[in-house]
């Protein structure tokens, strides 16, 4: 009863950005009256940003070959998720992640607000321009978990203020108001911009984006002069800004942990210097170790965010490597949790994506096996499965296995007027695959296809069939008993 009262209080009390909150959809009733006794204490939600099923397939071939398995392939319970937003057939990351976190369909660009909220561009100083009557906050799973006394964490390879992580802890009518999003994360008084539904704050925060926590005088983007990193330290957070400081964080003794390892997004895994930046798996394991100190359990969100950025660039090799790094984090998390919960009787792990991209696998390619030095694999040219010869397009020229529906690299003439592609050229880290429809640089678009969801652990079997992204919220909430 006390738990229910706390959840009710959070629904009534939210006031960051437009008044009191609206009510989230009720949790799905349990099939049996004893479900409360078997409720998992730990929920880990993994989000591969932009990780559509074709990208996932390509990453599998890239890493382990056609007949290999990634960790995500071994998850026993599966579903397909519809991703459209309130106002668009093809969503962006803000409303799609917010749908998972709140159970509410909202407009593109909007983060964890009511369905009637209109996206309004932020002010020039990257603060909110929402107005006082433009929608209401909607309670997130992280806030509900916090109210129930669980430990909470957010881990990402993007800026911590980027759309996906922000949807767990912030409420704003436009995802680009990152200075306000940062302020919502930092414990303070009513005038500080802090989201008070976070109580004493999110317990573990790892990612990039220090520029939104630093004043302009210190090279940041905050025109208000606040040093939010210093404020976090004053609120009992142990701070890290590089791999060495990250390694020194002791999750057993640190009350709370806050690590920002880059000014903007963290490096692509293909480019990452392991002496300077921790991997996604590193951050995930340390977050779990820190959150496990809370005997009531945890809610942890982990995002492989740079998959999406590489796909926008049409640099498929970077996207596939970041997908593998994301999969490694899932593997590491399962292994870490099983140290204390061997059969995952008290843990639910959910893995999914927020939307698709336009990446496709072309031609009738022979099997390539995994990519390695001397074998570009799925990143190479199409070779006919029947005789191994190079496949040719209508201009008599070779083409790559991976292509994009939209993207910056489009040949606007006969391809025979240009040098023939080679495996060496297309296997380069920075090669941009060709696209059907040309866009601006870095502006390949999202796709509208359903995405994959996998789950393991207690009550994972509630995920099945084709479901809307808003349904994921109520399924997790029911599994948590909240």
Give me the active site residues, please: 93
Residue at token pair 């996604």: 280
DSSP 198-242: GTT--SEEEEE-GGGGSBGGGTSSBTT---HHHHHHHTTEEEESS
> What are 95's two structure tokens?
């409303």
Q: Is 444 within 8 Å of 406 (Cβ atoms)?
A: yes
* Residue of 79, 35, 157 lying closest to 450 (CA atoms): 79
Within 10 A of 11 (CB to CB), how many other CB atoms are there? 20
* Segment (H or E) for 435: strand 435-438
Instruction: Identify the three-state secondary structure at position 467.
Output: strand
> What are 344's two structure tokens?
């995952």
Residue at token pair 């942890």: 300
> What are 313's two structure tokens?
């660039």
Tally of CA atoms within 13 A in the half-sphere of 151 that contains its CB: 24
Helix-then-strand count for the chain, H and E:
13, 15
């Amino acid at each position: 009863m006390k738990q229910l009262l706390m959840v009710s209080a959070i629904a009534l009390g939210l006031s960051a950005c437009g008044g009191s909150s609206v009510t989230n959809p009720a949790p799905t009733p349990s099939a049996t009256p004893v479900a409360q006794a078997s409720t998992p204490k730990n929920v880990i939600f993994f989000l591969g940003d932009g990780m559509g099923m074709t990208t996932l397939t390509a990453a599998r071939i890239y890493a382990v070959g056609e007949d290999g398995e990634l960790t995500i392939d071994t998850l026993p319970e599966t579903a397909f998720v519809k991703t459209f937003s309130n106002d668009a057939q093809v969503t962006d990351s803000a409303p799609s992640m917010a749908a998972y976190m709140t159970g509410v369909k909202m407009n593109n660009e909007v983060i964890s607000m009511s369905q009637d909220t209109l996206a309004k561009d932020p002010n020039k100083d990257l603060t909110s321009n929402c107005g006082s009557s433009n929608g209401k906050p909607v309670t997130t799973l992280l806030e509900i978990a916090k109210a129930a006394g669980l430990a909470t964490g957010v881990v990402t390879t993007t800026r911590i203020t980027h759309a996906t992580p922000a949807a767990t802890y912030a409420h704003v009518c436009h995802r680009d108001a990152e200075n306000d999003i940062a302020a919502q994360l930092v414990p303070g008084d009513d005038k500080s911009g802090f989201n008070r539904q976070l109580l004493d704050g999110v317990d573990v925060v790892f990612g990039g984006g220090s520029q939104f926590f630093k004043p302009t005088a210190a090279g940041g983007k905050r025109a208000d002069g606040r040093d939010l990193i210093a404020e976090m330290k004053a609120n009992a957070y142990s701070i890290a800004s590089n791999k060495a400081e990250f390694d020194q964080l002791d999750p057993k003794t640190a009350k709370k942990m806050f690590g920002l390892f880059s000014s903007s997004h963290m490096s692509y895994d293909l480019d990452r210097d392991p002496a300077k930046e921790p991997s996604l798996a590193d951050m995930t394991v340390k977050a779990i170790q820190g959150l496990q100190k809370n005997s009531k359990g945890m809610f942890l969100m982990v995002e492989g965010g740079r998959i999406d950025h590489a796909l926008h660039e049409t640099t498929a090799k970077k996207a596939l490597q970041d997908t593998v790094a994301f999969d490694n984090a899932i593997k590491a998390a399962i292994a870490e949790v099983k140290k204390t919960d061997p059969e995952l009787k008290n843990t639910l792990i959910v893995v999914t994506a927020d939307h698709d991209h336009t990446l496709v696998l072309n031609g009738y390619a022979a099997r390539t096996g995994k990519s390695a030095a001397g074998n570009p694999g799925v990143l190479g040219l199409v070779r006919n499965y029947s005789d191994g010869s190079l496949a040719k397009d209508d201009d008599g020229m070779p083409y790559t296995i991976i292509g994009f529906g939209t993207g910056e690299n489009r040949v606007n003439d006969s391809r025979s007027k240009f040098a023939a592609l080679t495996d060496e050229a297309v296997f380069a880290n920075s090669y941009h695959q060709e696209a059907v429809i040309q866009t601006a640089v870095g502006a390949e678009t999202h796709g509208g296809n359903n995405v994959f969801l996998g789950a393991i652990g207690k009550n994972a079997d509630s995920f099945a069939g084709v479901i809307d992204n808003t349904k994921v919220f109520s399924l997790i909430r029911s599994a948590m008993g909240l």
